[in-house]
Each structure stands twice: as structure tokens, then as C-alpha cells.
Chains A and B, each alone.
Chain A
Amino acid sequence: MFKKVELQEGVTLYIRKSEQFKTVNFSVKWKTALDEKKSAPRAVLANILEESNGRYRSQTEFRNALDELYGTVLYTDAGKRGETHIVSLSAECVNDEYLSEGGVLEEVLSLIKTVIFDPNVVDGQFDETVVNREKRSVKERIRSLYDDKTRYAQKRMLELLRPDSAASAPSYGTEEGVDALTSADLFAAYESMLNEDEIDIYVVGDIDEDEMTEKIRSLLTFNSRKVHERQTATQQTATQEMEVRHVREKQDMKQGKLHLGFTTPVTFRHPDYAKMQMTNGVFGGFAHSKLFINVREKESMAYYASSSYSSHYGLLYVMAGIDAELEEKAVKLISEQLTALQQGEITDLEMEQTKALLANGIKSAFDSARGQIEVFDQYKELDENFTADTIIAGWESVTKEDVKNMASEIKLEIVYLLSGKEAN
């Protein structure tokens, strides 16, 4: 799907010509080992690079330039996957052929170069005012998570389940971490990102692959660097039957947010990965899944009740919004659905539906440029020559017996309830 070109050791271009889109999409990803100390400076740095640069010294000038380029979108973000921290710079512009004037693509490429290689630096330092402002922004972003009760409950459950590990490490760092940053720290982080990170560059659009490759090669002149393999987190699994932990926390709110954390030895790189995806689908991934049918439709207890499989950490989550007084009943119902799977109570229909929807999901993801980039960036770690069909074939071969076996590997470790009411 993507053509791979190694520009330098550790710097790879993945390029794809597609007539599907009216725009050209770029993404540059800097990857390094996830480390709490690195997340804060890299998150703030991402903001600073998005804000201004050596050519456009203020946000107004920079944003005006992007507006003039037919609203070219350019943004940065910090995130994580498994044990890897990823800073990304994304840009999307309208393909020249749809515009009355040409040259937009050329100019956007030049801007990407500017953003990366010519930051808003004077005497080897980022502007203090900009640094302070963007530190404030990132701190506020971290803090505002509190206002989204579902995300907050999920974060708390993870902190309790896996303290001090990649699974619960924040990709923007902590407020304290951000607070402590100096301009010098940020410049050091910038230099290390530029010179030491593994870099993947993506281009998708109706472009000439060879011509674009040469342009990228001449504009994005990264040095070579050694890349160290980063593995998926090794899953800490309980050897003994562990006591399930119950934690209840309170806030001033109406709905009870019930989050269950399960562990599984099967991670992204495990040979049973596809089987565990199927198991999650039958359990709670879709509107035909056991959780939706039994917790929402039969009992009318919830508007949402679903499971998700976090393969990079070997974790599986269930979340449901319920009346807090019904916690016990809900946990019992959810556990019963897992037990049913473990006992092999799985129908052909459930298998067929889950396979069909997983296939639809992956094929649909490829219908957006961003989806192509993100899915490829993840799956290429398993097999660079994968296609939607090879992934789908992996699900197709999963049997009811496989799902039963996988379900038996799933262990409930924590029940977390965030609610406003007294629950007993």
C-alpha cells in the first residue's frame, strides 16, 4: 500500500499515490522510548512548533499564511503507543488541480521544512514568552481531562491498575513536569528529537511518487541515526488467582462511571492477537456484542456498555454509564458475559457478525488518508507487506474454540466506579 523509501538510516519515507482524495496529506512522526521525563518537554515543544517559526514569528503571521494557502491544516500532537512516545506533525492541503491558482503544494512543503528546521529560536533559545504561554496551554489541557468524566474515570482506573508503567503514563507529561521546564530543556528536547528519534514520514495524495520522493529528500534533510527496537510492554500477569480490587471515588456528578480493568497475556505482537480481537468483539466491541445486548438492551441499565482491547498493554477494558446504585448488578452482569464466553456459549451468528464488522472497520479506515497513515504506522511493526485482506484473513480463521480459549485468559483485576452518589 505504501512505497517505502529509506532516506537515511532511521529516517523512512512512506509514500502512496491515491486518486481518492482532493487533498494531499503529510505526517512526520518522531518516535522515542516512552519516558515520563521526555513526555512533558516534547508535548510543549509540539505546541511551540505549531505556533510560530523562523519565517513567521507570530501566530497571526503563521496562521494568515496557512489561510492564504486555501486553509492548509497544520498541527502537531504528542501521543504514545506501547512503549513508544510519538510526536507528530500533520499537514493537509488541497491538491492544486482543484484550485484556480497553483503552487500551494510547493509552498506547503516549504512550510513543513520551515516548521521542522527553522523554529522560532533566537540565540539558541525559544522565546521565553512563547515557552511560558505554551507551557500554560499544555498544563490546561492536562487539567481539563478532569471535566470529561468518562476519560477521567478511565485514567484513574489505569493509574490504579498499572501505576508507574507505560499503560498509565500520560503522553503530555504531568502538570509538575511541564511547570519545571526551561527554554534550555525544550531546546535540548528539540535537538534530540531532530537528531536521535526514529523518524517516519508519510505522504498520501494524488501525487507523482518519484517527484515527491525527490522533493522530500531534498527538503527534509535529516541526519542518519541509530534506531533501537522498542518492544510492546511485557505484560505482568498474575500467576495466582488474585483478589479483584474494588475502588470507588466520588465527584459531584449524576451518572456512575463503571470501568473494569482486565488483563490478558496476549499483546499486539503475540501470535494470538487476531483471536483476542475477535474475543473482544464478541464480548463488547459492537452493538451485537454480549455486553450491549445484555446490559443495555435486556436490562435497560445503560446507554453505553462496551469493551475495548488495548493490545499494546495486554489490557481489556469494559466501560458503562449506569445508575451508581446498580453497580453490583452491573458488575455481575458483565462478569456473567465473560463467563459465558469462557464456557463456550458463543453462536455462529456472533462469530459471523464480529468478523464482518471487524473487516468493515479496517476497510473503512483505509477510506481516509489519516486512517491509512495511522493503521499502516501501527501494523507495519508486524508485517510491512500487510494488506486489509491479510488482516481480515487472520480474523476469518478464528474459531469459537479459539474465542473460548482466549476468554479464559482474560482476568478481571479491578472494578472502578466514579460516582456522585453513595454506593454500597
Chain B
Amino acid sequence: MKNIHFDNLQETLYNEKLDNGLDVYILPKRGFSKTFVTFTTKYGSIDRTFIPRGKTEEVTVPDGIAHFLEHKMFEKEDGDVFQKFSVHGASANAFTSFTRTAYLFSATDKLYDNTEILLDFVQEPYFTEKTVDKEKGIIAQEITMYDDQPDWRLYFGTIENLFHEHPVKIDIAGTVASIQDITADYLYECYETFYHPSNMVLFVVGAVDPEEMMAFIKKNQDAKTFDDPAEIVRSFPTEKDTAAITERKLAMDVSKPKLNIGMKCTNTDIDGEEMLIQELSAGLVLDILFGRSSEFYTETYNDGLIDESFSYDFTMENGFGFAMIGSDTDQPEQLEKAIRTTVKNTVETWPITDLELNRMRKKKIGQFMRSLNSPEFIANQFTRYTFNNMNLFDVVPTLEKLTLENLKDAFQTFSDESGYTVYSIVPADKAE
């Protein structure tokens, strides 16, 4: 087992890649009474076209299947896995993103019992047509719930606008119609392809003894047999740099219009250090241009163009990326204009100086330190970084060496107006 000590953070991270290919990380946290464990596969909603394990022909599976599979993993022949976690005082959960499916629990007691339940339930699939059909009702209600959430519709509508072909534009849960096509056979096919240990990361953080825990995990894994690791062949359509749709409106029963501008990132075929630099730099640019201390924020807040709901964000994974800026607003046209003017001005004159860079760098370093108090943040983010060949603990040293040139390069990846879209939600009575 390797260990890496981060002196400045006073943290030690333990790591070992097991014989079956599973990557295990353990981070003990002093003073904590809970332990948080995540077991994550590099398989999300965008992985819809691939060559199934042991086959040669590419398949395209129904939309929403990764998320459906996540739900179905909790049901076994002898009942529901939540029940087992509950007996041992663990609070369990799971989530599916564009690129990952994570299973997790947090517990203050019976750490090994709970870890064993986690490892075993994720590694023992059990699907029948009957249980698959039953789940359709539950997931249909989940989808319907999101349909009534204006902020989710705004977020997803913007992504749908930005992308022509890339499956990131498909809702993670699929649609009520698409999930009807899901069968137990499909679930097994996806499971066999993506849930091999070599495509997964186990992260343990909190009140844990690293040596003992690693030995426990190894013993559990050694007792199981797995096929040899095989390369996963995923296929993605070619995506243009432009936005697919430049503007769209949706009428909903809301109290105030909502506006969101999406900006497509054009440099997405990257990973590792290059990705880390780009995403940190893009985040800093947005902080400088749109953060609470920015000229933009002061003016638009004073003028009532934005309110407390204002937010901005930069998202990227290998293959896709976008920035988003939005707010509830009574004056969507003026807000759109203000955002566009700020971006355009930045393209033309590049007003960002070292002064702002240094201030925002400090802010980001502080933010990162603060998030290290959260086992949830560490486990989830570390896994995401690992899947993109980055290391979460490189964040501070990388922030420290970023230059204005890095910021400029990152900004250029989403500064072309042909990659912009505007999505708005308007109160039903004001819709055209």
C-alpha cells in the first residue's frame, strides 16, 4: 500500500490497486466519528452507445438506463439493501451523473459490516422482469417530480440547447417513455460491461484505520472471481463547436421569469493536468467577471436585473464542457444584454489583471480548504478527479502557479458567441 502525505494539508492518503483492478483510496480524518465510503463506477448517462463485454457489435441502450440500474442494484432476491444498512446504523444512498454512478453510505458504527454490504451488493446483480417493471412507476414519479422543478428544467433545457448530438443533452433519468424499454437483459448487459472492478474506485474517508481497512477490502475482493479486465469501447458522436439551438423559452407556473445563458466549451478532448488547469482557470475567470465582488454583480444587483438566485458555474468532463450564468429576473432581455456585454468586453479588451487573479486565487484556496472538512466532498470529488486522471490534492499547488495566460486560454475555450444559448422560463400567463 502506498501512502502520500500532504504536509500543507496535514492529510495522508493511502492507495492500492488490487489484483482485480479495483483502485482503493483511504483517507483517515482525525476527530471524526463517521466514516463515509463511496463505491463508484465510471459509467453514467452519457455511456449509451458501446460494445458490450464479450461482444463485437456496438449497441445503443434506452435513455436513463444507468440511473435505472442504480435504482435496481438496491433490490436483491432476499429483499432491499437499505434494510441491511439500516440494521447497522448506516445511512445509504446512490447517485448517477453524466459520467459516474456512485453507491455510498455513512456510518458511525459497524464500519466493516457496512463496507461488506456495500461491496457485496454492488458486486452481486439481481434483476428480474417483474422487479424491473415495478421500478418503472417509482422512476416515473422521480422524473415527474423533476419536471415540476423550474431550476432543473432551466439547467437541462440549457444543456439541450447547447448540444447537437452529444448524449449529455439527454436527461440523466431518461423520460417516462424511454424507461419503458428497459429490460432485465439490458441491465445485465450494462452491468457486465461497466461494473468490472477495473472500471471502479472505492474511497473511504473518516474514522478509519487504513491498514485494517485495506486488509478487509482485499480479503473481500480476493474471495470473489472476476473476468479479466477488458477495455471498454464507448462511442460518442462528433459534436460541433456551435450551440445547437440559440434560444428557447418554456412556460411554467413560476412567480418570476428565469434566464440562463449557456456557453459551450470547445476544448474538451483533454484530461489530467491540462484539464485541471483549464477548469480551475475557467472557474477563476467566472469568479472575477461574475462573482459577488465583480462590477457586473454590483451593477446588475443594484439595477434589479439579478436577485439572490443569481449563479454561475463551469462544468467539464472529458468530451463536453460548458459555463452557465443565470438568475430569476423581471428583465430577461436586459440581463442577457448585460451578461453578453461583460463577456464581449472581456474578449475584446481582456481587463483581468494580476490583482484580481491573486485575490480570486486566495478565495479559491480558502474554499478548497473549507471543503476538506467534508468527507462527502473529498470522496465524491476525489473520485471524479481520478476518473479524469487528475488528483484532487493537486488543486492548491495548481492554483498557486496559475498565470493570467492560463486564464486567458481557458476563457477562449468558451468565448465564441456561436457557442452561446439562452434558455428562459416565463410565467405561464406571459408566454407567447
Contacts and interface: CB of A to CB of B under 8 A. Distances in A.
Interface of A: 18-23, 58-60, 63-64, 66-73, 92-94, 98-99, 129, 133, 136-137, 140-141, 143-144, 146-149, 251-255, 286-288, 292-293, 296-297, 299-304, 321-323, 349, 352-354, 356-357, 359-361, 363-364, 366-369
A144 B107 CA distance: 36
B89 A71 contact: no
Given A254-B144, A288-B83, A367-B375, A144 B31 contact: no
B144 to A, nearest CB: 4
Contact of B109 (A59, A356, A366): A356
A70 B358 CA distance: 10
Contacts of A68: 359, 362
A400 to B, nearest CB: 16
Interface in B90-144: 90-92, 106-109, 134-139, 141-142, 144
Nearest to B74: A287
A367 B375 CA distance: 9
A129 B10 CA distance: 46
B324 interface: no
A357 B147 contact: no
Contact of A71 (B108, B142, B151, B364): B364
Given A20-B32, A94-B366, A149 B255 contact: no
Contacts of A23: 369-370, 373
A22 B108 contact: no
Contact of A303 (B8, B139, B298, B370): B139
A60 to B, nearest CB: 5
Closest 7 A/B residue pairs (Cβ): A300-B137, A70-B366, A20-B31, A356-B89, A71-B366, A71-B363, A63-B293
A137 B308 contact: yes
B110 to A, nearest CB: 8
Contact of B255 (A73, A144, A300, A303): A144
A22 B369 contact: yes
B328 A363 contact: no
Interface in B283-297: 291-295, 297
A149 B34 contact: no
A303 B109 contact: no
The listed residue with most B CB atoms (<10 A of its CB), out of A253, A299, A363, is: A363
B370 A302 contact: no
A53 B312 CA distance: 26
Contact of A59 (B87, B145, B298): B298
B135 to A, nearest CB: 7
A349 B87 contact: yes
A67 B293 contact: yes
Contacts of A92: 370
Contact of B367 (A59, A71, A286, A353): A71
Nearest to A98: B369
B245 interface: no
Contacts of A58: 298
Contacts of A286: 86
B34 A367 contact: yes
B428 to A, nearest CB: 5
B137 A301 contact: yes
B256 interface: yes
B138 A19 contact: no
A287 B374 contact: no
B145 A69 contact: no
B130 to A, nearest CB: 11
Given A137-B308, A149-B148, A364-B106, A253 B362 contact: no
B360 interface: yes
B19 interface: no
Contacts of A360: 34, 89-91, 106-109
Given A98-B369, A146-B254, A296-B138, A140 B293 contact: no
B33 interface: yes
Chain B interface size band reads 35 or more
A72 B366 contact: yes
B108 to A, nearest CB: 4
B255 A321 contact: no
Contacts of A22: 9, 369-370, 372-373
A140 B10 CA distance: 43
B274 to A, nearest CB: 25
A149 to B, nearest CB: 5
Contacts of B106: 360, 364
Contacts of A323: 141, 144
User: Which of B86, B137, B253 has most chain A Cβ within 10 Å?
Assistant: B86
B292 A63 contact: yes
Given A67-B359, A71-B365, A94-B369, A353 B86 contact: yes
Contacts of B197: none
Which of B83, B294, B362 has the most chain A CB atoms inside 10 A of its CB?
A: B362
Contacts of B155: none
Interface centre among B31, B141, B256, B369 (most CB of A within 10 A): B141
B359 to A, nearest CB: 5
Contact of A357 (B33, B89, B370): B89
B83 A144 contact: no
Given A149-B148, A251-B253, A360-B90, A19 B362 contact: no
A301 B145 CA distance: 13
B30 A19 contact: yes
Contacts of B10: 98
Contacts of B328: 140, 144, 147
Contacts of A93: 366
A361 B141 contact: no
Contact of A364 (B34, B151, B253): B34
A71 B370 contact: yes
A300 B136 contact: yes
Contacts of B29: 20
B307 interface: yes
A58 B295 CA distance: 11
Interface string B183-199: 00000000000000000
Given A303-B141, A360-B106, A59 B369 contact: no
A287 B82 contact: yes
A155 to B, nearest CB: 13
